[in-house]
Amino acid sequence: MIRVLLADDEDMIRTALASLLRLEDDLEVIAECSTGTSAVEEALRLKPDICLLDLEMPGLDGVEVAERLQGLPEVRCIVVTRHARPGVLRRALAAGVQGFIPKSRRAEEVADIIRRVAAGRRYVDPEIAADALADERSPLTDRELDVLRAGQRGETIAEIARTLHLSPGTVRNYVSSVLGKLAVSTRQQATVVARERGWI
């Protein structure tokens, strides 16, 4: 019997999928969670075989949950997403996620993928994989990426400068260069673009 933990903040989707998976003879849904934080707590307590994690949840997202569970090698994670951006796939694989699928999959297909991952194989949706391979490389230099990382939680120019041991003027120059290269008008927009594409 494959023991499954489901985590999705959309109650209707989570309960419907749980009901459908329970129809499978070899799958047992042992927990349903509505937040990433509760998913981590329940996974640490119950040690399921598979955690089926929605990418976008309040607090911790699906990839962050998988990162926190890396210390439990017996727990394998599958991330399910509505918006499959290539950068997120790279982030998920780096976090040890073994499966990455779109929410458009039918319940029977999800059950088959759960079986594959539980058997020790990895599964990445072919379309998402193709998009990731075709995704362009970052036009930003390592130092420009450092500046974005250091300021991704809204830190001021002065705080970024202190963190990176640079002058505020140098940080402003890097920020200006980033905005020009990414054709955006704010540092926040640049951070969103870089995160979505897996550059930071």
Tell which wins on pLDDT, 128 or 116: 116
CB atoms within 10 A of CB 145: 16
CATH classification of 2-134 is 3.40.50.2300, yes or no?
A: yes
pLDDT above 70 covers a percentage of the chain that reads: 95
How does the average pLDDT of the chain come out, rounded?
A: 91
pLDDT above 90 covers a percentage of the chain that reads: 72
- Residue 84 scores a pLDDT above 70: no
pLDDT in the model for residue 86: 67
- Residue 163 scores a pLDDT above 70: yes
Hey, what's the torsion of the CAs at 97, 111, 30, 98, to 10 degrees? -10
What are the residue ranges spanned by the domains of the chain?
2-134, 142-196
Phi, psi values for residue 173, rounded to 5°? -60, -45
CATH fold for domain 142-196: Arc Repressor Mutant, subunit A (1.10.10)
Once rounded to an integer, what is the mean pLDDT over residues 154-173?
94
- Distance separating alpha carbons of residues 53 and 51, to the nearest angstrom: 6
Same fold: 2-134 with 142-196: no
Tell which wins on pLDDT, 72 or 58: 72
- Residue 136 scores a pLDDT above 70: no
- Residue 19 scores a pLDDT above 70: yes
pLDDT in the model for residue 48: 98
Lowest mean pLDDT among 40-44, 57-61, 131-135: 131-135
